[in-house]
Amino acid sequence: MAYRVKIGARLDKDVRRLLAAQTGRAIGYLSGVIDEGGSSIHATRKALKRCRSILRLAKPGLSSKTFSAHDRAFRDIGRLLSHDRDREVMTETLRLLAAKSAGDDKAALLSALDELNAINLNGASHLATEENISRAIALLQAQDHAIHNLLVKKGRIATLAEGFANTYAEGRKALKAAYRINDDEAFHTFRKLLQNHWRHCQLLVPAWPDLMNVRISAARDLSQLIGNDHDLSLVIAHFKTPSASTLDADIRTRIVAAAKSEQAQLRAEVKPLARRLYALSPDDMKRLIVDLWPAALRLAKHRRKPETTGFPVDDVIPLLTDRQI
């Protein structure tokens, strides 16, 4: 089922539908019922992020208690699975860094890879992961049941527009902070908000598919770059901690230096792209959604073919006005 709002549906029902679809997929990935290739842990964590983005978009219509409870639940499930994923990420990041390096730097990075691979073969680590997967499935099943009672107090387009603009504003603020503070945590915060904006554009793509698809593509590419930055920060944090590695101090220093050098290049590349994506004001973004909604309604009424890339004609349904929702 498409990850997007059905504009003609009641907002509370649609939020529950979207959340149920993602929790169902997450349970399927972890239980092995759904196999799309690649890492089931990674696929599950992406589904959990989609759930949290749905909640953020609908946040203006949720009570603070309801939003916090569901958001915290999805966050904690993701954390159960993060250790295994972080080790996968560090291994791949070290492999890429080693491919770009030479001499002593390359030797240091290959030593780090050998160390991580040895840890990955540890049977106890595998057992701990299995326990976390079983617990995550149980918690997801509880959430799948709980979301059927989720109440959205407001049902107007203003709810979605406000949620869209609020997260965009937070991302804009986090972008400025990341380059002012220039530390790993600040960039990670910006990346999380950027991913929310990306997913909000996906959810609201029926408002104007061509426009939203441009923003989706730009945000996705930018998120990948900043994701690489975060992957490097995991390597840096790991090898800056003496107790985390048995490698000699000079080898760990070389690994950290190589990761920081790559990180600096990435941040220089990201800056102009991010400024372009966040060029408009939050008020502009809010008005955009509010103004596009009736335009989408008129297009549907006249049964015109949507101006879209990847937006099937069959998905066009009668839309409700702001007053009717």
Question: Are 57 and 71 in contact, with CB atoms under 8 Å apart?
Answer: no
Q: Which domains does the chain have, with CATH numbers?
A: 11-306 (1.40.20.10)
3-class DSSP state for residue 7?
A: coil
User: pLDDT value at position 115?
Assistant: 92
Task: Indicate the length of the chain as a whole number.
Answer: 325
CA dist 202 and 172 (Å) reads 19
User: pLDDT value at position 228?
Assistant: 96
DSSP annotation of 11 reads H
Give the DSSP letter string of 100-135.
Answer: H--HHHHHHHHHHHHHHHHHHT-HHHHHHHHHHHHH
Question: Are 27 and 141 in contact, with CB atoms under 8 Å apart?
Answer: yes
**What per-residue string of b and e applies to 51-84 under the rule 16 or more CB within 10 Å gives b?**
bbbbbbbbbbbbeeebbeebbebbeebbebbeeb
Q: For residue 172, give the nearest of 276, 264, 97, 295 by alpha carbon.
A: 276
CA dist 12 and 259 (Å) reads 45
Task: Supply 195's token pair.
Answer: 């991913």
Tens digit of pLDDT at every position of the chain (325 positions): 689 998 777 889 999 999 999 999 999 999 999 988 778 888 999 999 999 999 999 999 999 999 999 999 999 999 998 866 678 889 999 999 999 999 999 999 999 999 988 875 444 454 447 889 999 999 999 999 999 999 998 767 889 999 999 999 999 999 999 999 999 999 999 999 999 999 999 999 999 999 999 999 999 999 999 999 999 999 999 999 999 899 999 999 999 999 999 999 999 999 999 999 999 999 999 999 999 988 887 887 775 554 554 444 334 333 333 333 3
Q: How far is CA 266 from the centre of its chain?
A: 19
User: pLDDT value at position 156?
Assistant: 78
> pTM of the prediction?
0.86
